[in-house]
Structure formats: structure tokens, C-alpha cells
Amino acid sequence: MIVQQTASWLWRGVNQLLWPAVCLNCGRGIVEADGHLCRLCWDDLLSRAAGSPCPRCGRDTSRYGMLQGACGACRGEPLQFDGIARAGVYGGVMQELILRFKNGCTDLDSVMATLIAATFDGSGWGSGVDMVVPVPLHWRRRLARGYNQSAILAKSLRAGGLSLSADLVRIRHTKQQPAMVSAASRRRNVAGAFVVRRGHRFAGRRICLVDDVKTTGATLNECARVLKEAGAARVYGAVLAVAGQGN
Ligand SMILES: [Zn+2]
Ligand SMILES: [Zn+2]
């Protein structure tokens, strides 16, 4: 009897090791078909993705709040990128997953790749894009973290036949700013932080910048400005989540 029980525990233990059928977010048991997350976590994640984003800035809006392609929050805001698509809004399970993804949980790579691919495909401009560019980390931060999460996302989009360039680089170690900091201060923080490498192939390209989170958009805006200065024809942004609705 005891032997049988032990064998069954052992079998379950080995099975768990081979097929860790637990939710990557909350640790609840799942069936394989659930795709790494439990039903509750998927429901929360999908609810964050349910809103109707402004195609210009990515903030939640309603289609009645749009005027000449801009929502109330971004109307009059000078934006260098030509459009933005996002998987959802930053919060709940979306936020927890992004934080885990940034902090070394490589098991989440496939979930995040699915989210960014769906975002790109649903953007309306994805079919016109011919190059993906990750928002770069400063080498010092990449060294500390071991990888750039935006590069993982960008690489997963390359599977669709897009070229990938790492010729946009961050030359200044910018301060990480809390969400409450003003838009003007964020703009100052990233001004001059990015350059393109000599020999880049950005001229005439239709580029999709890839990042995990857009807060005020100052980083994406500065990257898009630098890419356009280098000759890019169009620059769009694809992000997992938009934070700080700013209204
Ligand atoms: Zn869960
Ligand atoms: Zn907007």
C-alpha cells in the first residue's frame, strides 16, 4: 500500500518535472491545453486586452472619442511614430507577466511571443512593415539583466519573414522613472539617448519598433525620431501593454 502510494507520488513528481502543468503566473494546476496559464489568469489577461485603443497613441478610448485619427488624450501631441498597436493595458495579470518576463522567467517567452504576434497581425499596418527593431537597453542594463526583453519579442516577429536590425543603440544610461513623472521630464530624460550605428539599413524602410511597455511614449517617440532622421519611411510601435493612461 505504502509502496504503491510512494510510487504514485513519485510518478506525479516526475510528471510535474517533465510537464510542469502549473500556471506560470499563479501556480495553479492547469491542463496542457490551457497554454501555460490557468483559466482565471487567461480571463484576466484577455479582459486587459478587451478595450478599444487609439491607433495613434495606444491609450484606451472609444471610437466616438476619435477625431481625425486622434483621441482626446493625444490630439495635438506631436508624435514621431505613425501608429501603435498593443496587446492590452498594463495592470493585473498583464503587469505580473511582463514583470516576470523582464526578471528572467524564460518560460514566458512563448506566451509573450504569441501576444506580440497577435498585436502585430491585428495592427492594420503590420503587412506594410519590412523591418523590426527592438527598443534597445543600455549595455550596462543589459549586462545586469542578461538579456533585452524587447529583443526577444522582436526576434519572435522575425519568424514571419521580417528582417531584424539591432542598429539602433542606446548610448546613455537613462534613469528609470516612476509612472507619476511628467511627460516633459520623460522627454528630457530620453533626449539624445539613442543613435544609429554606422552602416545601418534604415533608409526607406517601414519599421516596427518593439517594446514591452509604453508609458508616456517618450522613449518610442525619441526612437522613432532618430530612425526617421536616419531615413526610415514609416515607424510604428508594437508593445505588450500601454501604461499610464494619462487621463
Ligand atoms: Zn493562473
Ligand atoms: Zn490617442
Ligand nearest the Cα of residue 96 is 1
Quick one: how far is CA 239 from the chain centroid? 3
Q: What is the dihedral of CA 183, 99, 234, 50, to 10 degrees?
A: -90
Architecture category of domain 52-242 in CATH: 3-Layer(aba) Sandwich (3.40)
Residue 81 is given by DSSP the state: S
Residue 197 is given by DSSP the state: P
Residue ranges per structural domain of the chain: 52-242
Beta-carbon-side half-sphere exposure of residue 3 (alpha carbons within 13 Å)? 0
- The reported pLDDT for the residue numbered 10 is 56
Cell numbers given for 43: 480571463
| Interval between CA 38 and ligand 1 midpoint (Å) | 4
**What's the average model confidence in pLDDT over 206-224?**
94
Predicted confidence (pLDDT) per residue in 107-144, tens digit: 889 889 999 999 999 999 999 999 999 999 988 888 88
| Phi, psi dihedral angles at 155 (to 5 degrees) | -60, -35
- Among residues 245, 182, 212, which one has the least CA distance to residue 87? 212
pTM tops 0.75, yes or no: yes
Residue 177's alpha-carbon distances to 76, 84, 182, in angstroms, are: 24, 22, 10
Ligand nearest the Cα of residue 59 is 2
Ligand nearest the Cα of residue 77 is 2
| Interval between CA 102 and ligand 1 midpoint (Å) | 18
| Phi, psi dihedral angles at 77 (to 5 degrees) | -80, 120
Give 13's pLDDT tier (boundaries 50, 70, 90).
Answer: low
**Any residues with CB less than 8 A from the CB of 12 and at least 6 apart, and which?**
none
Q: Which residues are in the CB-under-5-Å shell of ion ligand 1?
A: 23, 25-26, 28, 38, 41
Contact 233, 205 (CB under 8 A): yes
Residue 35 is given by DSSP the state: T
| Interval between CA 37 and ligand 1 midpoint (Å) | 5
- The reported pLDDT for the residue numbered 31 is 78
Contact 112, 97 (CB under 8 A): yes
